[in-house]
């Protein structure tokens, strides 16, 4: 006999799966860049948006049961439309707590929803904070963070893949910036557009992040950056850690892609770096470095 909980979950997810079928055959190759008109069609599909929200309700309940996430973190999972950030062919799975691929080689994914919240919890991310994210993907993590930090917070995110960067800018309503020079870096420190709430940079994550953090250390900003790395580093990012201002926090998965990875938290407190390890994880490998 099926459990009442299982029956409830299937009932919640069924409409999403049915509506997702509208977009199953829109593209001959799922790994080609998603056309702007297709993203626009998905974003304007009111029935799909409501089905996605309903399908995420059991996910939120499960995350609340498994973890001690803050209520406004769970609200972000419920209210941010993850279906817009996955590939159109994966719409039916967008309410699952599982990573979904963004390229043929598996170099990029939309991470499982709980993975973002674990990182944000370790960062103690909250209203008014400034988040610097390495690895935008299509922007789902930035969208969650934007809701968590609110209108007085800042989100800056860096993506190495120009195709993903451009799609993230479109989905988030942000201006794509492929420059790695001072103009692009200045945009991460400038006042954020209230409509977008996020600045996107394109280039090598660590190189750009080091420059953003170095700029902060030279300024008089009251809020230090909180740094989230969304891909596995083979070793702790010493250069990034060195750039953390007092009160700054960095969370990153550390370990070989094919081996053991751990989620590491580093905080600068009264000049000293304090490091903690928070369990085994599994993330895609860093790109752009040998």
Axis crossing angle, helix 182-189 with helix 205-217, rounded to the nearest 10: 60
Q: CA-CA distance, 113 to 31, in Å (whole number)?
A: 22
Contact 205, 183 (CB under 8 A): no
Residue 111 falls in the annotated catalytic set: yes
DSSP state of 272: E
Class of residue 25 by CB neighbours under 10 A (exposed 0-12, middle 13-18, buried 19+):
exposed
Q: CA-CA distance, 151 to 147, in Å (whole number)?
A: 8
Contact 231, 286 (CB under 8 A): yes
Q: CA Rg, the chain, in Å? A: 19
Q: Write down the residue that tokens 């892609």 correspond to.
A: 257
Q: Write down the residue that tokens 């309940």 correspond to.
A: 61
Active-site residue, selected from the candidate residues 111, 121, 157, 245: 111
Q: Write down the residue that tokens 């492929």 correspond to.
A: 178
Residue positions annotated with a catalytic role: 111
């Amino acid at each position: 006999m099926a459990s009442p909980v299982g029956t409830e979950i299937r009932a919640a997810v069924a409409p999403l799966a049915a509506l997702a079928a509208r977009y199953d055959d829109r593209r001959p190759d799922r790994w080609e860049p998603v056309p702007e008109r297709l993203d626009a069609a998905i974003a304007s599909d009111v029935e799909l948006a409501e089905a996605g929200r309903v399908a995420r309700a059991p996910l939120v309940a499960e995350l609340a049961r498994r973890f001690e996430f803050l209520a406004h973190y769970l609200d972000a999972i419920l209210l941010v439309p993850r279906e817009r950030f996955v590939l159109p062919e994966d719409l039916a799975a967008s309410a699952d707590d599982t990573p979904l691929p963004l390229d043929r080689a598996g170099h990029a994914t939309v991470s499982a929803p709980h993975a973002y919240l674990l990182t944000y919890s370790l960062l103690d991310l909250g209203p008014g904070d400034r988040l610097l994210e390495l690895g935008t993907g299509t922007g789902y993590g930035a969208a969650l963070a934007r809701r968590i930090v609110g209108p007085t917070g800042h989100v800056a995110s860096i993506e190495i893949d120009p195709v993903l960067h451009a799609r993230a800018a479109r989905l988030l309503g942000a201006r794509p910036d492929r420059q790695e020079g001072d103009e692009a870096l200045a945009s991460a420190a400038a006042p954020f557009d209230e409509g977008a709430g996020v600045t996107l940079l394109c280039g090598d994550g660590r190189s750009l992040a080091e420059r953003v953090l170095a700029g902060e250390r030279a300024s008089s900003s009251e809020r230090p950056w909180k740094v989230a790395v969304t891909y596995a580093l083979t070793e702790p990012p010493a250069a990034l850690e060195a750039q953390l201002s007092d009160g700054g926090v960095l969370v990153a998965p550390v370990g070989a892609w094919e081996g053991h990875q751990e989620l590491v938290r580093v905080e600068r407190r009264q000049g000293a770096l304090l490091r903690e390890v928070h369990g085994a994880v599994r993330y895609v490998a860093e790109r752009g470095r040998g």
